[in-house]
Structure 1
Amino acid sequence: MSAADLRERQRPLKAAYREDPASAVQTSTATAVVDQQALTATVGTWAGDVVAGLHPATGGDGTEACSGDIILQALVACAGVTLASVATALGIEVRSASVTANGTWDARGTLAVDRDAPVGLTDIELVVDVDTDADEEKVARLLELTERYCVVARTLAEPPEVRVRRG
Protein backbone atom coordinates (compact mmCIF):
# COMPACT_ATOMS: atom_id res chain seq x y z
CA MET A 1 0.00 0.00 0.00
CA SER A 2 1.27 3.46 -0.81
CA ALA A 3 1.32 6.40 1.59
CA ALA A 4 -1.40 8.04 -0.51
CA ASP A 5 -3.58 4.91 -0.32
CA LEU A 6 -3.13 4.76 3.45
CA ARG A 7 -4.01 8.45 3.87
CA GLU A 8 -7.07 8.02 1.64
CA ARG A 9 -8.23 5.00 3.64
CA GLN A 10 -7.79 6.81 6.94
CA ARG A 11 -9.01 10.27 5.86
CA PRO A 12 -12.75 9.68 6.44
CA LEU A 13 -12.06 7.98 9.77
CA LYS A 14 -9.93 10.87 11.01
CA ALA A 15 -12.54 13.38 9.88
CA ALA A 16 -15.32 11.50 11.64
CA TYR A 17 -13.28 11.22 14.85
CA ARG A 18 -12.47 14.94 14.79
CA GLU A 19 -16.16 15.76 14.34
CA ASP A 20 -17.36 13.24 16.94
CA PRO A 21 -14.52 12.25 19.30
CA ALA A 22 -16.76 9.77 21.14
CA SER A 23 -17.08 7.71 17.94
CA ALA A 24 -13.34 6.96 18.13
CA VAL A 25 -13.69 5.14 21.44
CA GLN A 26 -13.84 1.42 20.69
CA THR A 27 -14.44 -1.59 22.92
CA SER A 28 -12.44 -4.72 22.25
CA THR A 29 -13.49 -7.98 23.86
CA ALA A 30 -11.91 -11.36 24.37
CA THR A 31 -13.49 -14.34 26.14
CA ALA A 32 -11.90 -17.51 27.49
CA VAL A 33 -13.72 -20.72 28.34
CA VAL A 34 -12.13 -22.26 31.42
CA ASP A 35 -11.52 -26.01 31.87
CA GLN A 36 -10.60 -26.64 35.49
CA GLN A 37 -9.79 -30.32 34.93
CA ALA A 38 -7.27 -29.56 32.18
CA LEU A 39 -6.09 -26.31 33.82
CA THR A 40 -6.62 -24.48 30.53
CA ALA A 41 -8.50 -21.53 29.12
CA THR A 42 -9.58 -21.60 25.48
CA VAL A 43 -9.72 -18.27 23.69
CA GLY A 44 -11.55 -17.93 20.40
CA THR A 45 -9.61 -15.82 17.91
CA TRP A 46 -10.17 -14.90 14.28
CA ALA A 47 -7.56 -17.56 13.42
CA GLY A 48 -9.19 -20.28 15.53
CA ASP A 49 -9.11 -21.35 19.15
CA VAL A 50 -5.99 -20.86 21.25
CA VAL A 51 -5.69 -23.11 24.30
CA ALA A 52 -3.69 -21.47 27.08
CA GLY A 53 -2.25 -23.49 29.91
CA LEU A 54 0.51 -23.51 32.46
CA HIS A 55 4.05 -22.65 31.43
CA PRO A 56 6.53 -25.50 32.06
CA ALA A 57 8.12 -23.36 34.80
CA THR A 58 4.81 -23.50 36.68
CA GLY A 59 3.86 -27.13 36.10
CA GLY A 60 2.69 -27.22 32.50
CA ASP A 61 3.98 -29.63 29.91
CA GLY A 62 4.50 -27.02 27.19
CA THR A 63 1.71 -28.26 24.93
CA GLU A 64 -0.54 -25.23 25.52
CA ALA A 65 0.12 -21.58 24.86
CA CYS A 66 1.56 -19.60 27.76
CA SER A 67 -0.33 -16.41 28.60
CA GLY A 68 2.94 -14.50 29.05
CA ASP A 69 3.99 -15.58 25.57
CA ILE A 70 0.59 -14.48 24.23
CA ILE A 71 1.19 -10.98 25.63
CA LEU A 72 4.56 -10.86 23.86
CA GLN A 73 2.98 -12.19 20.65
CA ALA A 74 0.33 -9.45 20.81
CA LEU A 75 3.11 -6.90 21.31
CA VAL A 76 5.17 -8.01 18.29
CA ALA A 77 2.06 -8.25 16.12
CA CYS A 78 0.98 -4.74 17.04
CA ALA A 79 4.48 -3.30 16.74
CA GLY A 80 4.91 -4.98 13.35
CA VAL A 81 1.66 -3.60 11.94
CA THR A 82 2.45 -0.18 13.42
CA LEU A 83 5.97 -0.25 11.96
CA ALA A 84 4.59 -1.09 8.51
CA SER A 85 1.96 1.67 8.75
CA VAL A 86 4.41 4.29 9.99
CA ALA A 87 7.00 3.35 7.36
CA THR A 88 4.31 3.67 4.70
CA ALA A 89 3.16 7.05 6.01
CA LEU A 90 6.75 8.34 6.16
CA GLY A 91 7.57 7.00 2.68
CA ILE A 92 10.27 4.67 4.02
CA GLU A 93 10.73 1.56 1.90
CA VAL A 94 11.32 -1.49 4.09
CA ARG A 95 12.74 -4.53 2.31
CA SER A 96 12.20 -6.71 5.36
CA ALA A 97 11.60 -6.30 9.05
CA SER A 98 11.09 -8.45 12.12
CA VAL A 99 10.08 -7.59 15.64
CA THR A 100 11.09 -9.75 18.61
CA ALA A 101 9.95 -9.31 22.21
CA ASN A 102 11.86 -10.77 25.12
CA GLY A 103 10.09 -10.78 28.47
CA THR A 104 11.38 -11.67 31.92
CA TRP A 105 9.26 -13.05 34.74
CA ASP A 106 9.80 -14.85 38.02
CA ALA A 107 7.89 -18.13 38.45
CA ARG A 108 8.13 -17.78 42.25
CA GLY A 109 5.57 -14.98 42.12
CA THR A 110 2.82 -16.83 40.29
CA LEU A 111 3.48 -20.03 42.29
CA ALA A 112 3.27 -18.10 45.60
CA VAL A 113 6.74 -19.36 46.58
CA ASP A 114 7.83 -15.89 47.64
CA ARG A 115 5.25 -13.19 48.44
CA ASP A 116 7.82 -10.53 47.53
CA ALA A 117 8.47 -11.99 44.08
CA PRO A 118 6.57 -10.11 41.37
CA VAL A 119 3.74 -11.75 39.45
CA GLY A 120 3.89 -11.13 35.73
CA LEU A 121 6.35 -9.77 33.22
CA THR A 122 8.77 -7.35 34.83
CA ASP A 123 11.03 -6.45 31.93
CA ILE A 124 10.25 -6.41 28.22
CA GLU A 125 12.69 -5.64 25.43
CA LEU A 126 11.41 -5.05 21.91
CA VAL A 127 14.03 -5.61 19.21
CA VAL A 128 13.29 -4.35 15.70
CA ASP A 129 15.44 -5.56 12.83
CA VAL A 130 14.72 -3.50 9.74
CA ASP A 131 16.38 -3.67 6.33
CA THR A 132 16.04 -0.33 4.57
CA ASP A 133 18.08 2.23 2.69
CA ALA A 134 16.66 4.99 4.91
CA ASP A 135 19.26 6.95 6.86
CA GLU A 136 19.72 6.47 10.61
CA GLU A 137 17.71 9.60 11.44
CA LYS A 138 14.68 8.31 9.52
CA VAL A 139 15.02 4.84 11.06
CA ALA A 140 15.21 6.40 14.52
CA ARG A 141 12.02 8.36 13.76
CA LEU A 142 10.37 5.17 12.47
CA LEU A 143 11.17 3.35 15.72
CA GLU A 144 10.10 6.31 17.86
CA LEU A 145 6.72 6.55 16.13
CA THR A 146 6.27 2.77 16.19
CA GLU A 147 6.69 2.82 19.96
CA ARG A 148 4.41 5.86 20.29
CA TYR A 149 1.51 4.47 18.24
CA CYS A 150 1.66 0.75 19.07
CA VAL A 151 -1.48 0.11 21.15
CA VAL A 152 -0.05 -2.90 22.98
CA ALA A 153 3.27 -1.20 23.75
CA ARG A 154 1.46 1.87 25.10
CA THR A 155 -0.88 -0.33 27.15
CA LEU A 156 2.05 -2.16 28.72
CA ALA A 157 3.99 1.07 29.32
CA GLU A 158 0.99 2.85 30.84
CA PRO A 159 -1.23 0.03 32.11
CA PRO A 160 -4.94 0.63 32.61
CA GLU A 161 -6.66 -0.35 35.82
CA VAL A 162 -7.77 -3.98 35.62
CA ARG A 163 -10.76 -4.99 37.74
CA VAL A 164 -11.96 -8.54 38.23
CA ARG A 165 -15.68 -8.95 38.90
CA ARG A 166 -18.27 -11.65 38.75
CA GLY A 167 -20.37 -11.69 35.57
Structure 2
Amino acid sequence: MDRETLRSVQQPLKQLYRERPEAGTILLKASGTLGEEGLSCSVQTGRAMVEAGLHPATGGDGSLACSGDLLLQALVACAGVTLAAVATNRSIAVSGTVRAEGDLDVRGTLGLDPEAPVGFRNIRLHFDLATSANAAELKALIDTTEQYCVVLQTLQAGLHVEVGSTATTMG
Protein backbone atom coordinates (compact mmCIF):
# COMPACT_ATOMS: atom_id res chain seq x y z
CA MET A 1 0.00 0.00 0.00
CA ASP A 2 1.34 3.44 -0.83
CA ARG A 3 0.98 6.68 1.13
CA GLU A 4 -1.98 8.05 -0.85
CA THR A 5 -3.94 4.80 -0.64
CA LEU A 6 -3.35 4.57 3.11
CA ARG A 7 -4.41 8.16 3.62
CA SER A 8 -7.51 7.75 1.43
CA VAL A 9 -8.59 4.76 3.51
CA GLN A 10 -7.86 6.38 6.87
CA GLN A 11 -9.12 9.91 6.14
CA PRO A 12 -12.88 9.16 6.26
CA LEU A 13 -12.37 7.05 9.38
CA LYS A 14 -10.47 9.84 11.12
CA GLN A 15 -13.20 12.31 10.14
CA LEU A 16 -15.89 10.01 11.52
CA TYR A 17 -14.02 9.63 14.81
CA ARG A 18 -13.53 13.40 15.10
CA GLU A 19 -17.25 14.01 14.54
CA ARG A 20 -18.47 11.05 16.60
CA PRO A 21 -15.79 10.09 19.15
CA GLU A 22 -17.90 7.17 20.40
CA ALA A 23 -17.61 5.53 16.97
CA GLY A 24 -13.88 5.17 17.59
CA THR A 25 -14.40 2.75 20.47
CA ILE A 26 -14.50 -0.80 19.18
CA LEU A 27 -14.82 -4.13 20.92
CA LEU A 28 -12.27 -6.80 20.06
CA LYS A 29 -12.93 -10.35 21.21
CA ALA A 30 -11.12 -13.62 21.49
CA SER A 31 -12.30 -16.98 22.73
CA GLY A 32 -10.83 -20.39 23.19
CA THR A 33 -12.02 -23.91 23.81
CA LEU A 34 -10.42 -26.07 26.46
CA GLY A 35 -8.81 -29.15 24.96
CA GLU A 36 -10.52 -32.43 25.70
CA GLU A 37 -7.21 -34.25 25.74
CA GLY A 38 -4.18 -32.82 27.46
CA LEU A 39 -3.60 -29.37 28.83
CA SER A 40 -4.51 -27.09 25.95
CA CYS A 41 -6.77 -24.30 24.80
CA SER A 42 -7.64 -23.78 21.13
CA VAL A 43 -8.00 -20.15 20.09
CA GLN A 44 -9.50 -19.03 16.79
CA THR A 45 -7.35 -16.17 15.51
CA GLY A 46 -9.53 -15.17 12.57
CA ARG A 47 -7.10 -16.75 10.13
CA ALA A 48 -6.27 -20.05 11.76
CA MET A 49 -6.77 -22.09 14.89
CA VAL A 50 -3.93 -21.89 17.39
CA GLU A 51 -3.65 -24.61 20.00
CA ALA A 52 -1.90 -23.30 23.10
CA GLY A 53 -0.39 -25.38 25.85
CA LEU A 54 2.23 -25.45 28.54
CA HIS A 55 5.78 -24.37 27.78
CA PRO A 56 8.32 -27.19 28.23
CA ALA A 57 9.75 -25.32 31.24
CA THR A 58 6.39 -25.80 32.99
CA GLY A 59 5.64 -29.36 31.91
CA GLY A 60 4.58 -29.09 28.27
CA ASP A 61 6.09 -31.16 25.49
CA GLY A 62 6.76 -28.21 23.17
CA SER A 63 4.24 -29.31 20.53
CA LEU A 64 1.76 -26.53 21.32
CA ALA A 65 2.06 -22.76 21.17
CA CYS A 66 3.13 -21.14 24.44
CA SER A 67 0.97 -18.22 25.59
CA GLY A 68 4.08 -16.21 26.50
CA ASP A 69 5.37 -16.67 22.96
CA LEU A 70 1.97 -15.62 21.62
CA LEU A 71 2.12 -12.43 23.68
CA LEU A 72 5.56 -11.59 22.26
CA GLN A 73 4.33 -12.47 18.76
CA ALA A 74 1.38 -10.09 19.19
CA LEU A 75 3.82 -7.35 20.22
CA VAL A 76 6.04 -8.01 17.19
CA ALA A 77 3.05 -8.06 14.84
CA CYS A 78 1.58 -4.84 16.22
CA ALA A 79 4.91 -3.01 16.25
CA GLY A 80 5.72 -4.20 12.75
CA VAL A 81 2.37 -3.13 11.30
CA THR A 82 2.51 0.20 13.12
CA LEU A 83 6.05 0.89 11.91
CA ALA A 84 5.07 0.00 8.33
CA ALA A 85 2.03 2.31 8.45
CA VAL A 86 4.04 5.21 9.88
CA ALA A 87 6.81 4.68 7.32
CA THR A 88 4.26 4.54 4.50
CA ASN A 89 2.57 7.70 5.75
CA ARG A 90 5.96 9.47 5.80
CA SER A 91 7.09 8.05 2.43
CA ILE A 92 10.02 6.28 4.09
CA ALA A 93 11.21 3.06 2.49
CA VAL A 94 11.78 0.41 5.14
CA SER A 95 12.31 -3.33 5.34
CA GLY A 96 13.76 -5.67 7.90
CA THR A 97 12.68 -7.53 10.99
CA VAL A 98 11.10 -6.88 14.37
CA ARG A 99 11.91 -9.11 17.30
CA ALA A 100 10.86 -9.34 20.92
CA GLU A 101 12.24 -11.33 23.79
CA GLY A 102 11.25 -11.47 27.40
CA ASP A 103 12.56 -12.74 30.71
CA LEU A 104 10.17 -15.04 32.53
CA ASP A 105 10.84 -16.77 35.86
CA VAL A 106 8.69 -19.92 35.68
CA ARG A 107 9.04 -20.43 39.44
CA GLY A 108 6.28 -17.83 39.80
CA THR A 109 3.71 -19.54 37.60
CA LEU A 110 4.58 -22.93 39.12
CA GLY A 111 3.95 -21.54 42.61
CA LEU A 112 7.44 -22.40 43.83
CA ASP A 113 8.53 -19.00 45.05
CA PRO A 114 6.07 -16.37 46.29
CA GLU A 115 8.70 -13.71 45.54
CA ALA A 116 9.02 -14.75 41.89
CA PRO A 117 6.66 -12.75 39.66
CA VAL A 118 4.04 -14.49 37.57
CA GLY A 119 4.63 -12.98 34.18
CA PHE A 120 7.43 -11.33 32.29
CA ARG A 121 9.98 -9.32 34.26
CA ASN A 122 11.28 -7.53 31.18
CA ILE A 123 10.48 -7.44 27.49
CA ARG A 124 12.83 -6.09 24.86
CA LEU A 125 11.58 -4.98 21.43
CA HIS A 126 14.13 -4.46 18.68
CA PHE A 127 13.95 -3.33 15.05
CA ASP A 128 16.59 -4.48 12.54
CA LEU A 129 15.90 -2.21 9.58
CA ALA A 130 17.13 -1.24 6.15
CA THR A 131 15.69 2.19 5.40
CA SER A 132 15.91 5.33 3.33
CA ALA A 133 15.52 7.37 6.53
CA ASN A 134 18.35 9.43 7.97
CA ALA A 135 19.16 9.14 11.69
CA ALA A 136 16.65 11.81 12.78
CA GLU A 137 13.87 10.34 10.60
CA LEU A 138 14.61 6.85 11.91
CA LYS A 139 14.43 8.04 15.52
CA ALA A 140 11.11 9.77 14.80
CA LEU A 141 9.83 6.61 13.05
CA ILE A 142 10.68 4.42 16.04
CA ASP A 143 9.32 6.99 18.54
CA THR A 144 6.05 7.28 16.64
CA THR A 145 5.79 3.50 16.34
CA GLU A 146 6.22 3.22 20.10
CA GLN A 147 3.62 5.93 20.67
CA TYR A 148 0.93 4.29 18.50
CA CYS A 149 1.56 0.55 18.89
CA VAL A 150 -1.52 -0.72 20.74
CA VAL A 151 0.10 -3.82 22.23
CA LEU A 152 3.26 -1.98 23.31
CA GLN A 153 1.29 0.85 24.91
CA THR A 154 -0.98 -1.65 26.70
CA LEU A 155 2.01 -3.53 28.10
CA GLN A 156 3.81 -0.35 29.13
CA ALA A 157 0.80 1.32 30.73
CA GLY A 158 -0.80 -1.72 32.28
CA LEU A 159 -4.54 -1.88 32.72
CA HIS A 160 -7.25 -3.35 34.85
CA VAL A 161 -8.47 -6.71 33.58
CA GLU A 162 -11.84 -7.77 34.88
CA VAL A 163 -12.09 -11.53 35.46
CA GLY A 164 -15.43 -13.33 35.67
CA SER A 165 -16.75 -16.84 35.35
CA THR A 166 -19.83 -18.95 34.88
CA ALA A 167 -20.02 -22.63 35.61
CA THR A 168 -22.35 -25.54 35.15
CA THR A 169 -22.16 -28.90 36.87
CA MET A 170 -20.63 -31.64 34.73
CA GLY A 171 -21.95 -35.18 34.53
* TM-score after normalising by structure 2: 0.94
Q: Which runs of 5+ in 2 are unaligned?
A: 167-171
Q: Give the Å deviation of 1:164.
A: 1.2
Cα separation, 2, equivalents of 1:158 and 1:37:
37
Once residues 45 and 8 of structure 1 are traced to their aligned partners in structure 2, the CA distance between those partners, rounded to angstroms, is 28
Give 1:132's aligned amino acid.
T
TM-score, length basis structure 1 = 0.96
What is the Cα deviation at residue 37 of structure 1?
4.2
User: Counterpart in 2 of 1:120?
Assistant: 119
> What one-letter code is carried by the residue in structure 1 that aligns with 2:115?
D
The runs of at least 4 aligned residues of structure 1 exceeding 2 Å deviation read none
Look up the equivalent residue of 2:154 and give its one-letter code: T
Q: Judging changes above 3 Å, is the alpha-carbon distance between structure 1 residues 36 and 110 closer, same or farther for their aligned structure 2 residues?
A: farther
> 1:42 is matched with which residue?
42
1:35: Cα distance to partner? 2.4
Name 2:9's counterpart in structure 1. Answer: 9
Q: Distance in 1 between matches of 2:36 and 2:156?
A: 32
Q: Residues 25-104 of structure 1 correspond to what in structure 2 (within 5 A)?
A: 25-35=25-35, 37-94=37-94, 96-104=95-103
Question: Amino acid of the residue matched to residue 98 of structure 1?
Answer: T
Higher deviation after alignment, 27-36 or 119-128: 27-36
Please state how far the C-alpha of 1:47 moved relative to its aligned partner. Answer: 2.0
Q: Which residue identity is paired with 2:42?
A: T
2:93 maps to 1:131: no
Amino acid in the other structure paired with 2:83: L
Q: Identity across aligned pairs (percent)? A: 48
Query: Structure 2 CA distance, aligned partners of 1:121 and 1:47?
Result: 27
SS at match of 2:29: coil
Q: Which amino acid aligns with 1:80?
A: G
Q: Aligned equivalents of 1:37 and 1:114: distance in 2?
A: 29
Cα RMSD over matched residues? 1.0
